[in-house]
Amino acid sequence: MATETAAATGGQASPIALEEAGICVDSHGGAIGLPQLCPDWMGNQIFWLAVTLVIIFFVLSRIALPRIAAVLAERQGTITNDIAAAEDLKVKASEAEAAYDKALADARSDAQAIVAQTKADIKADLDAAMAKADAEIAAKTAEGEKAIAEIRAGALDAVKEVAKDTAREIVAAMGGQADAKTVNAAVTSQMKG
């Protein structure tokens, strides 16, 4: 801009023309490169800086900061509620675990009692079955011994009859005569002893 003004004035710009063009001029009449550093405008810049800062302060304090504070308070409340809920769930989980352990111990003791009762029932049934089987075996043994005794008795009678018949035949073959009484007496005496 300073170069445009200098070109408009024929290459040399007067300090008054530069000031009228809005360009800050130093003490030698030359233009300053950065207008925001011009001491003549410093007061104006400080005023608008203060006004801007006050406006920003009021906007932040009345609008933005209350919203941020509300969000932070809401988040803190949510975090506090979540922590309290987590503690409650932790207590409930501990109670549930204790109840589970107790139920498991009760179930184990009940299972052991059922196993013991079942073993006792099976043993009682087995003892009853063994007693019944022993009684049946004893009855069959008695029947068998009775049958054997009958067979022995029958065999003894059969042997007596065979012995009597054989003795009669032997006596007859030798040319003698034996009556039935004599043969019976001889066979009986020999069988006894």
Q: Is the pLDDT of residue 173 over 70?
A: yes
Phi (first) and psi of residue 188, to 5 degrees: -65, -40
Confidence band, pLDDT 50/70/90 cuts, at residue 129: very high
Choose from 27-41, 88-102, 133-147 the range with maximum mean pLDDT: 88-102
Task: Supply the pTM of this predicted model.
Answer: 0.38
pLDDT confidence bin for 163, thresholds 50/70/90: confident
Report pLDDT for 2. Answer: 45
Residues 6 or more apart in contact with residue 178 via CB below 8 angstroms:
167, 168, 171, 172
Give the model confidence (pLDDT) of 49-62 as tens digits. 999 999 999 999 99
Lowest model confidence (mean pLDDT) among 76-80, 104-108, 125-129, 187-191: 187-191
CA dihedral angle for residue 152, residue 162, residue 179, residue 188, rounded to 10 degrees: -30
Confidence of residue 69 (pLDDT cuts 50, 70, 90): very high
Taking residues 116-137, report their average pLDDT.
93
Q: Give the C-alpha distances (Å, rounded to integers) separating 68 from 38, 52, 57, 81.
A: 39, 21, 15, 20
**pLDDT for 11:** 52
CA distance 27 to 43: 19
**Amino acid 141: pLDDT:** 92
Q: Is the model more confident about 108 or about 170?
A: 108
Q: Where are the alpha helices (DSSP H) in the chain?
A: 2-8, 15-20, 42-59, 65-173, 180-192
